[in-house]
Amino acid sequence: MEHVKRYHSLKTIVNGRELLIEGPISGSELASYRFDDGLIAFRIPEQQHQALIEIADLPEGRIIVAREDDLVLGYVTFLHPDPLERWSQAKLPDLLELGAIEISHLIRAGGVAKKLLEVSFADDAMEDYIIITTEYYWHWDLKGTGLDVWQYRKVMEKVMGSVGMVWMATDDPEICSHPANCLMARIGKRVPPESVEAFDGMRFQNRFLY
């Protein structure tokens, strides 16, 4: 499968900061930007910056950023699922995982997460993919936001739902280990039925239990 990446961008102002939301961008572009030191949800900022640079240059990898001049204040990643996760078992070339979305405290609750996804899905190539995201409450910044797990889950549903990602059932043990965790997915218009069938097969692997 050829992974087509078409650049899109938009401008917005949040808390007086003029932001450019753009992508997919290349690893070298991302390397030339600074990375806000408040982006700590998944790794220390230097390591996360480096991880994103590597993802940007993967054939299927897509990084969309929100930046003020050369300072990255938010990002979202799309890439094939980790080989250790069940979502990679069928090795579907047209399945991407929204692996991480993070917005700096400096510009949170200003619509930036939704705009990152708006720019991501402005590329018609996204209609060729099943896009999944696995929501685990232990990745959420409950302390920083003061939200409880259900309020936070609502925020995630609003962010993901803004581009048509919907809750999907699964018997994945990690997802089932807490009721606030969930799988969300969006099946692009041109995804063939064989891929959807293979995805359904990965969602449910313990049918004999029921």
Task: Compare residues 152 and 199 and give the one whose CB is closer to ligand ACO.
Answer: 152
Task: Compare residues 54 and 197 and give the one whose CB is closer to ligand ACO.
Answer: 54
Instruction: Calculate the alpha carbon distances from 124 to 7, 70, 127, 183 in Å.
Output: 11, 27, 6, 23
The secondary structure of the chain in percent helix, strand, coil, rounded to multiples of 5, reads 35, 25, 40
Give the list of residues 6+ apart from residue 5 with CB closer than 8 angstroms, or none. 24, 62, 123, 125
Task: Compare residues 157 and 171 and give the one whose CB is closer to ligand ACO.
Answer: 157
The secondary element (H helix, E strand) that includes residue 34 is strand 34-35
Residue (of 68, 73, 77) closest to 25 by Cα position: 77
Q: According to the binding rule CB under 6 A, does residue 110 interact with ligand ACO?
A: yes
Stretch that binds ligand ACO, among 3-11, 23-31, 45-53, 153-161 (CB under 6 A): 153-161
Measure the CA–CA gap between 176 and 188, rounded to whole angstroms: 25
Site for ligand ACO in 166-185 (CB under 6 A): none
CB of 66 to ligand ACO, least distance (A): 8
Q: According to the binding rule CB under 6 A, does residue 102 interact with ligand ACO?
A: yes
Total chain residues near ligand ACO (CB under 6 A):
23
Residue (of 21, 18, 26, 1) closest to 10 by Cα position: 21
Q: According to the binding rule CB under 6 A, does residue 34 interact with ligand ACO?
A: no
String marking each residue 118-147 x if it binds ligand ACO according to CB under 6 A: ---------------x-x---xxx---x-x
Give the list of residues 6+ apart from residue 179 with CB closer than 8 angstroms, or none. none
Interface residue list for ligand ACO (CB under 6 A)? 41, 98, 100-103, 108-114, 133, 135, 139-141, 145, 147, 155, 158-159
